[in-house]
Amino acid sequence: MIRLDDFNRNTLQWTVLLTVALGVSLCVGCRNTGRQPIAAAPAPPFPVAQPMADMSPPILLGTDATIGTSFPDHVQAFRPITPDPQPMAAAPEPSAPPRQKVIDDLNDQVTELQKKLAEQDRKLAEKEEALERALLPVPVSEAPKATAAIPLPPPKTPPVLPTISVADVHTAVDGESVRIRIPDAVLFQPGTIRLTPDGEDALRTISAELRTKYPKETLEIEGHTDSLQTDPTNATHKHEVAALKSQVVVQYFLQTLQWKPEAIAVSGYGSSRPVADNGTPEGRAQNNRIEIVVK
């Protein structure tokens, strides 16, 4: 039979043991409250930037300088791993060139521009000097001498006028040609283009003189009329009459006087080249004519 004293003693011992165990459990539970392993901790939805230099070292379980107590391995597994703060290297700021270097560069540019300007002035002076020399009169002693004398063309001798002793027939020099003017009254019957005997004699005399003075020259027989309109319905009547008159003279030279065809040409000018006033009978008589041009 247990005595009361022994019962009280045993009860007190168990009470003390339970109290100590309960205290140790509460202490350990309080220190582990809110601790989660790192592997199971959820990642924050966005990065939280905190300067590492401002973070104070936490008082954690495990080997820590502030605690100085070594805990078992299963307790140290709950210690968060914090990276060692690394100093961030500052980006180098662009350094401005020294002021003296900028001044030296500007001086070099000014010197180079001055050299170019001096070279341009020198070239301009050379061109002005060459232009002045070109404008100076060349001295007679420095004038280039002709290597060979260029023969001058011989002076042209004026054409020799033929001597024609026919009344009312005129000769004249026209540049390098000779013109022999024969009025219609000398050659043709009045109002016709038929040659008169005196007209044939005049053509024979002119032909003989031209054969003597100009045996190798060519002749052009021109027919001319006055401006009196005899056929209002035919505007080319005067040209046709002039051409017919010159054709009659050419045929006489070819058939009767035996001139070669290649030595004679024919043309009719009508009233386009008058030599006198068509307002008077005398002027119209002079404009109605045949001209033999010796080329």
CA-wise closest residue to 288 among 187, 196, 212: 187
Structure tokens at 279: 């307002």
Q: State the chain's mean pLDDT as an integer.
A: 77
Sorting pLDDT into bands at 50, 70 and 90, what band is 207? very high
Look up residue 165 and give its two tokens.
């002793």
* Residue 82 banded pLDDT, cuts 50, 70, 90: low
The tokens for 238 are 């005067």
Q: Architecture of domain 170-294 in CATH?
A: 2-Layer Sandwich (3.30)
Cα 276 from Cα 284, distance rounded (Å) = 7
Per-residue pLDDT, averaged over 34-55, amounts to: 50
Domain spans in the chain, listed from the N-terminal domain onward:
170-294
With a cut of 70, say whether residue 118 has pLDDT above it. yes
As a whole number of angstroms, the distance between CA 174 and CA 172 comes to: 6
Does position 39 have pLDDT exceeding 90, yes or no?
A: no
pLDDT of residue 152: 75
Lowest mean pLDDT among 73-87, 165-179, 232-246: 73-87
Question: What pLDDT does 62 receive?
Answer: 44
Return the pLDDT at 131.
Answer: 81
8 Å CB contact between 130 and 145: no
Q: What is the structure's pLDDT at 38?
A: 47
What's the rounded Cα separation, in Å, for the pair 193 and 184? Answer: 9
**Residue 158, pLDDT score:** 73
Q: Which residue has the tokens 């070594």?
A: 70
The number of angstroms, rounded, from the C-alpha of 37 to the middle of its chain's C-alpha atoms is 84
Q: Which residues contact 266 (CB under 8 A, 6 or more apart)?
A: 220, 221, 223, 243, 246, 247, 250
Helix then strand then coil, in percent of the chain rounded to 5, is: 40, 10, 45
Residue 279: per-residue pLDDT? 92
Strand-pairing partners, residue 222, are 267, 291
* % of residues, the chain, pLDDT over 90: 35
